[in-house]
Structure 1
Amino acid sequence: MTDAPAPLADRLRALALYLLPHHALSRMVHRLARMQTPLKDPVARWFIRHYGLDMDEAVHADPADYPSFNALFTRALRPGVRPLDPRPDALLSPADARVSQLGRIHGDRLLQAKGHDYTAAALLGDAQRAAPFQDGEFITLYLSPRDYHRVHMPVSGSLRETVHIPGRLFSVAPFTTRTIPGLFARNERLVCLFDTDQGPLALVLVGAINVGSIETVWGGEMGSRPRGAPRVTDHRAAPVALERGEEMGRFNLGSTVILLLPRGRVRWDPELAPDRRVRMGQGLGTLAG
């Protein structure tokens, strides 16, 4: 694909991001978000109003009940407010999010935005990991600051391998996906490869500015790294089995989740399209056995 010019306003906003010290800023936000200060409650109340958080869904509706801003941001939801699609063959949305892109992987290439694509090999760290997803299917889900920020399993699976790939921490807001080439393959990310009854599944947690910290239920908080070799962990000797809808990780501020599936393994819901909002547990499509 050839790159199409992004709107001038988007390009100017993105230009500033190239100049920022991504990891230094994210480390500062990481510390501030965990501090217990008298400013925490007024800042939290402003954040709730500004972004329209639905606190009635949370286990704790009062922001004063959270010891830190990060605890509010990674809040748990009350049982039952995100019912799972009851169809046993439904591929569940792993998060509350907005659909950025979805559809066919053309050979090895995934669509980022109009005029921009990138390769599965670059996203996952090498061509061998990407091979099962050749001509497969993908969906990219953007989590905004207002969203619930825990990530859940779209289908039951056993964790085979994780790959922590260092990189930049560009914003992953819509204006950057329209502007920065290869954005998701340039940002720091955690690639999680699962074995499922429907074949392999790649679930990629993409970091972003102020979101260098990603957590998983099996490994805790992942330290952020701007450079270095990918850290590969083989989990087959001590498998982590997770059921559909079970929490697998969380972002400490908003970011992006990308799912990759092999060819012919999912039929997308025909109502799904870019900019469509989805909720955790909602069916994104049906899986082939």
Structure 2
Amino acid sequence: MALRSLIAQISRQEDINFLLTNRIPRQLLTRFMGWFSRIEHPWVCRLSIGLWRLFAPLDLSEAKKSEFRSLHECFTRELREGARPVDDDPGVLVSPCDAIIGAHGAIEDATLFQAKGFPYALKDLVHDAELVSRYRDGYYVTLRLTSSMYHRFHAPYDCEIDRVTYISGDTWNVNPIALRRIEELFCKNERAVLRTRLSRGDHIIALVPVAAVLVASIRLHFLDVLLHLKYRGPNVIPCRASFRKGDEIGWFQHGSTIIVLAPEGFVLCPQWEPGAIIRMGQGLLRIP
């Protein structure tokens, strides 16, 4: 009876969490949060960060500075030099961000999974027939950033980004509860597909930053536009931006998800499993 009661309690908590984060005017709340987070007032900033710490394990000890002008500046904080050592093994693709490792594994023909029993189609995620063909039977890893994590993302290898596909969409929460209840969630949310050519083996991987509620804004340093709810295109943005392993590419305004897509032959480094916390710069995938 005690076990049943505990299961029922957990289920109720999940229902409340799902209701509070998804059954709301998501886009309106996201726009409001974007405005509010940029208010530069010391008391507003301190109170907001204090409230944030009540609900999340926010650790600012690694931040480059200790005082912030706004909540937005805290969200998008830089880290101290050396806070994220980058694995220099040439056979390893490193994690582009701090994250919790979510669903991962072989792409089954052209099908991925956001959670057990919740498949989604690669073509619906990337909207690019060439990439679908390239990653058929390949490998994927889902990296989920929580609100308190470091929100900037970096190059996983020496590489060149030659195309960005921006796909406007919704702002569903991407927490585990929503992933178990909303079918094809990643294919519904706003996202960008970064086509990335590695310097080794001419491999092409894709980084897919997915926005979410309170988060629908993606900044890429090499583009002169902020990708967010009001930006409608062009959907395909040609570019030519080179990076060294560990170089910063951009950031989320809050926290969300990055899906890494790789061709057949790439495999997850053996020390990782779903639920593990990985830091930017740690080895993520072995390169064939």
Q: Same fold (TM over 0.5)?
A: yes
| Aligned residues between the structures | 276
Question: CA offsets, 1:137-183, max 9 Å, x none?
Answer: 01000000111000011112111111110111000111111111001
What is the CA distance between 1:16 and its match in structure 2?
Answer: 6.1
225-234 vs 168-177, which deviates more? 225-234
Q: Say which SS state the counterpart of residue 135 (structure 1) adopts.
A: coil
Measure how far apart 1:98 and its partner are: 0.2
Partner letter of residue 286 of structure 1?
R
Contact 2:158 2:245 in 1 (8 A): yes
Q: Which amino acid aligns with 1:275?
A: G
> How far did 1:195 drift?
1.4
Q: Per-residue deviation at 1:220?
A: 4.8
Q: Does 2:220 match 1:216? A: yes
What amino acid does structure 2 have at the position aligned with 1:269? C
Q: Quick one: which amino acid aligns to residue 69 of structure 2?
A: P
Paired residue for 1:225? 229
Is 1:24 the counterpart of 2:25? The answer is no
The Cα RMSD (Å) is 2.1
The separation in 2 between residues aligned to 1:80 and 1:18, in whole angstroms, is 37
Partner Cα distance (1:80, 1:16) in 2: 38
Looking at structure 1, the residues matched to 231 and 24 of structure 2 have their Cα atoms a distance apart, in angstroms, of: 16
8 Å Cα contact 2:163-2:194 kept in structure 1: yes
Partner of residue 46, structure 2: 41
Aligned to 2:58: 53
Once the two structures are superposed, residues 169-225 of structure 1 have per-residue CA deviations (whole angstroms, 9 ceiling, x without a partner) of: 000111111111001111000111011134111000100001111101111552423
How far apart are 1:13 and its partner, in Å?
A: 4.4
Which residue in the other structure is 1:123 paired with? 125
Question: For structure 1, which runs of at least 5 residues remain unmatched after alignment?
Answer: 1-6
- Which of 164, 167, 173 is matched with 1:165 structurally? 167
Instruction: Give the Cα–Cα distance (whole angstroms) in 1 for the partners of residues 260 and 127 of structure 2.
Output: 15
Asked whether the equivalents of residues 35 and 68 of structure 1 are also in contact (C-alpha less than 8 Å), the reply is yes
Q: 2:112 aligns with which of 110, 113, 118?
A: 110
Q: Which runs of 5+ in 2 are unaligned?
A: 1-10
The amino acid that maps onto 2:80 is R
After superposition, what is the alpha-carbon deviation per residue over 1:100-130, rounded to whole angstroms, capped at 9, x for unaligned? 1111001001111011011111110133332
SS at match of 2:37: helix
Query: Percent of aligned positions with the same letter in both sequences?
Result: 32
Question: Compared with structure 1, are the counterparts of its residues 17 and 79 closer, same or farther at alpha carbon in structure 2 (3 Å cutoff)?
Answer: closer
TM-score (norm: length of structure 2): 0.89
Residues 278/217 of structure 1: CA separation in 2 closer, same or farther (3 Å cut): same
- What secondary structure does 1:57 align onto? coil
| DSSP-derived class of the 1:47 partner | helix
CA–CA distance in structure 2, aligned partners of residues 141 and 244 of structure 1: 18
Task: Work out the CA distance in 1 between the residues paired with 2:46 and 2:16.
Answer: 34
Amino acid corresponding to residue 234 of structure 1 in structure 2: P
Residue 242 of structure 2 aligns to a residue in which SS?
Answer: strand
| Distance in structure 2 (CA, Å) of the matches to 1:103 and 1:85 | 22
Distance 2:169 2:185 in 1: 10
User: Take 2:184 and 2:40, find their aligned partners in 1: how far apart are those partners?
Assistant: 38
Aligned-pair distance for 1:50?
A: 4.0
Change (3 A) 1:22 1:50: closer
Letter in 2 for 1:52: P
